């Protein structure tokens, strides 16, 4: 089945206005992706993932702006995020706002996930699928949009202490650091934001508990419409993706989620999946990411993914990709 995209049309309209402001035709970009301009008349913009990838590449090519995601993120202020932005701006603390963003980001960007690690004062942004040619545009736009929410509700210029991207530094790295106005790390294990710990539980001056409760209810209703309100599999995957220094066992995951292995297996079966399937999919995804980054040896990648034996990792990788890790790396190198 071909993956699909569902986004509020307002985001795509913002992208279109940006493209037009830069002197290019957004209608032409839509046409390149096999889309018509009237798709923006609906509240939700929907298309097949390959079309979205083509659109992302088309707007970057038309504007000659590889940093287009960054420019889009600058336009995505807190009020552009609907009820989710309203909930975040009325939270009592930054930590509460971040938990809200983690829980309900899928209301706005259904194929992305946000994991809030309170112990390490960090947010990790990931996706349900490989983002391909749309990756940089999406990562820069979403992380900058989240930073702007945090800056707005904290009224602090130094709320974000570091931005992390798992891909290598682009030619526009200096501009990206200037716009984020903080240190930017490339080639990181995962993409996300590091936050000043002392701000997490500081009361927010803009907090309105009654408004927050109402917005929370609306977010819950919107999430229920997506059929994702009880998606334990998504919570497990988010947790696995945040634990990049060691791959958790079933028992560790159950402790984190305050459940038992038996209950976890039963609930996952009801969702049509299993713990083994989730871990296998996550290991596949992380293996590709680690190899593409080139920061770790094969032995280290195997260890990070929970394989004590390198041969077992090689067999698993060949099952996922159809190539051994060394053959995959050689193919990637030859493809440029």
Domain-located, residue 253: yes
pLDDT tens-digit map of 273-305: 899 999 998 899 888 888 887 888 999 999 889
Domain-located, residue 294: yes
What's the rounded Cα separation, in Å, for the pair 240 and 131?
19
Residue keyed to tokens 């929970």: 306
Query: How many angstroms separate the Cα of 50 from the Cα of each of 3, 127, 192?
Result: 8, 15, 25
Beta partners for residue 124, in sequence order: 115, 192
Residues 243 and 129 in one domain: no
Domain-located, residue 145: yes
Residues 192 and 289 in one domain: no
Q: Which residues contact 124 (CB under 8 A, 6 or more apart)?
A: 114, 115, 117, 190, 191, 192, 238, 241, 242
Residues 32 and 86 in one domain: no
Beta partners for residue 184, in sequence order: 163
Residues 80 and 184 in one domain: yes
What's the rounded Cα separation, in Å, for the pair 57 and 1?
22
Amino acid 243: pLDDT: 67
Domain-located, residue 211: no
pTM of the model: 0.71
The residue range of the domain holding 316 is 232-334
Nearest of 195, 185, 279, 193 to residue 241 by alpha carbon: 279
Amino acid 229: pLDDT: 40
pLDDT tens-digit map of 126-181: 887 778 889 999 999 999 999 999 999 999 888 999 999 999 999 999 999 999 99
Amino acid 3: pLDDT: 61
Amino acid 1: pLDDT: 38
Residues 297 and 194 in one domain: no
Domain-located, residue 224: no
Domain-located, residue 306: yes
Residues 61 and 79 in one domain: no
User: How many structural domains compose the chain?
Assistant: 3
Asked which of 65, 89, 104 is the last residue of a domain, the reply is 65
Residues 40 and 138 in one domain: no
User: Is 195 in contact with 159 (CB distance < 8 Å)?
Assistant: yes
pLDDT tens-digit map of 221-263: 888 777 644 467 877 887 787 666 678 889 988 887 778 898 8
Q: Which residues contact 329 (CB under 8 A, 6 or more apart)?
A: 291
């Amino acid at each position: 089945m071909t993956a699909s995209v569902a986004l509020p049309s307002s985001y795509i309209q913002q992208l279109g206005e940006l493209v037009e402001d830069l002197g290019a035709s957004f209608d032409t970009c839509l046409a390149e992706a096999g889309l018509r301009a009237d798709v923006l008349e609906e509240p939700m913009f929907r298309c097949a993932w390959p079309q979205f990838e083509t659109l992302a590449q088309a707007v970057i090519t038309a504007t000659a702006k590889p940093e287009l995601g960054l420019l889009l993120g600058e336009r995505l202020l807190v009020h552009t995020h609907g009820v989710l932005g309203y909930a975040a701006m009325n939270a009592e603390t930054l930590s509460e706002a971040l938990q809200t963003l983690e829980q309900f980001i899928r209301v706005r960007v259904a194929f992305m996930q946000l994991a809030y690690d309170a112990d390490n004062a960090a947010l990790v942004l990931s996706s349900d699928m490989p983002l391909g040619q749309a990756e940089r545009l999406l990562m820069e736009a979403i992380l900058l949009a989240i930073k702007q929410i945090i800056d707005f509700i904290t009224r602090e210029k130094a709320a974000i202490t570091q931005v992390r991207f798992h891909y290598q530094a682009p030619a526009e790295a200096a501009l990206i650091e200037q716009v984020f106005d903080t240190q930017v790390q490339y080639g990181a294990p995962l993409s996300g934001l590091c936050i000043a710990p002392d701000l997490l539980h500081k009361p927010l001056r803009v907090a309105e508990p009654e408004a927050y409760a109402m917005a929370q209810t609306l977010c819950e209703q919107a999430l229920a419409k997506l059929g994702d309100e009880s998606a334990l599999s998504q919570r497990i995957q988010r947790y696995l993706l945040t634990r990049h220094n060691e791959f958790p066992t079933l028992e560790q995951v159950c402790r984190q989620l305050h459940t038992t292995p038996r209950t976890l297996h039963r609930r996952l079966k009801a969702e049509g999946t299993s713990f083994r399937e989730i871990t296998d999919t996550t290991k596949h995804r992380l293996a590709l990411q680690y190899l593409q980054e080139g920061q770790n040896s094969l032995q280290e990648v195997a260890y990070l993914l929970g394989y004590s034996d390198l041969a077992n990792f090689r067999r698993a990788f060949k099952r996922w990709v159809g190539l051994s890790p060394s053959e995959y790396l050689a193919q990637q190198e030859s493809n440029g």
